[in-house]
Amino acid sequence: MGAPTAPSDVLGPSGAAEARKAERARAGRSRPAEGSPLYIASLDGVRALSFMIVFVAHAGLGWIVPGYFGLSLFFFLSGYLITTLLRVEFERTDDVSLRQFYLRRALRIFPPFYLVLVLAMTVTALGLWGGSLTAKAILYQTLHLTNYYIVEHGWWTGMAPGTWVYWSLAIEEHFYLIFPLLYLLLRRRGLSAGRQALVLVAVCALVLVWRCALVFGFDAPKDRMYVSTDTRVDAILAGCILAIWKNPALEPEALADRALKRLWLPLGGCAVLASLVIRIPQFEQTFRYSLQSFGLMPFFIAAVRWHDRGVLRLLNLRSVRYVGVLSYSMYLMHTSMLWGLGQWTSWSEPVRGLAALGLLLGAATLIHRYVEKPCAELRRRLSGTLKPGA
């Protein structure tokens, strides 16, 4: 599960070329005004919803609540937000500063990542909640390779209890090491939004073919398919495609309300429902991920466009959005917190889950105030000195 994109991250450098401005004006596309933030409040609510799905599943209701669907939401949201940032920056400056991108991501991801990891490893090394550490596991987790360590050694050996959730962060770090380069290449070649999207759809198709080859040709185990970067990146790519084509934040009229309501939302609902109810193992490890990823597209469009309608208004409640802001740190800590309470108390699962949620909110608030906010301020300062092309 990836980190949320802070509102301050959503500003690309200003000053687009006059020719590109004129082109956008002729096309009639909606763009943020120069210098204005592009902050989509309802997506903080989506982030909160995603975290709660994962948390409730891990807290003991996994047999009812599909935690893996919460991860699909997070992956999609991550791809959509970060590609939207890249798109806004390129369309204002005719470039993407890779140095700024990697710097912002490092300052956003790494401080909470390593803080929680070191704390969990310290508690494990002191023997306060069981488990054991190995040098190989420590190295793999430090280098963002938790997912492939799990493929080699399983979920329980050598890692601090609860830190196995870092596998999803590993996928995101691998993806975002490469994707900005691909996006910049597509833009510099002058491809239209539709052709850029087609390239990414082709990559998603290749990932699906690769999953099918591994499952049907090599009988790959479930964990290999579930946590590996090469078999799960299409979930992030689906969000990237929406950011490039029919982006509801940048092109609010790109899809008619009637078509969204009567065609695309029902189709997306059917795709997601099929991914949840079909229990054939081979299907679960191949087509399920594709159906979920692309089935989410119309729901994200609705969450952005209809944020003030019906049940979608709940995503904009201040309390819900606050959980979304804290969700990255909460995700990093939640399985370790649940594990620790399970070792130190004899509480029932519901009581343990509620206690863990309260403790997570408190701990994540402290991390947000004393770690994430100072790093966000540092990002803003450095963004002012590292200009694209500098």
pLDDT tens-digit profile of 226-269? 999 999 999 999 999 999 999 999 998 888 899 999 999 999 99
- The lowest-confidence range among 16-30, 125-139, 309-323 is 16-30
Q: What is the predicted pLDDT for the residue at 226? A: 97
Report the percentage of the chain scoring pLDDT > 90: 83
**pLDDT (tens digit, 9 = 90+) per residue, 47-103?**
999 999 999 999 999 999 999 999 999 999 999 999 999 999 999 999 999 999 999
Mean of the per-residue pLDDT values of the chain: 89
| Structure-model confidence comparison of residues 245 and 379, the more confident one | 245
Handedness of CA 213, 206, 170, 243 (dihedral sign): negative
Using the predicted structure, report yes or no on whether residue 389 has a pLDDT greater than 60: no
Helices (H), the chain: 18-27, 41-56, 67-93, 98-125, 135-142, 146-153, 166-188, 193-212, 218, 222-227, 229-244, 257-259, 265-277, 281-284, 287-295, 297-305, 318-344, 349-367, 373-385
Q: What is the predicted pLDDT for the residue at 382? A: 82
Burial class (CB in 10 A: 0-12, 13-18, 19+), 21: middle
Using the predicted structure, report yes or no on whether residue 380 has a pLDDT greater than 90: no
> Cα–Cα distance between 211 and 94 in angstroms, integer?
36
Cβ atoms of residues 149 and 369 within 8 Å: no
Using the predicted structure, report yes or no on whether residue 206 has a pLDDT greater than 60: yes
Q: What is the predicted pLDDT for the residue at 253? A: 81
Using the predicted structure, report yes or no on whether residue 10 has a pLDDT greater than 80: no
Q: What is the mean pLDDT of residues 275-303?
A: 95
Tokens of 374: 């100072």
Report the percentage of the chain scoring pLDDT > 70: 88
Q: What is the predicted pLDDT for the residue at 86? A: 96
Q: What is the mean pLDDT of residues 26-30?
A: 37
- Rounded to two decimals, the pTM is 0.88
> Which residue matches tokens 């005719």?
94
Q: What is the predicted pLDDT for the residue at 255? A: 86
> Cα–Cα distance between 216 and 197 in angstroms, integer?
28
With cut-offs at 50, 70 and 90, classify the pLDDT of residue 323: very high
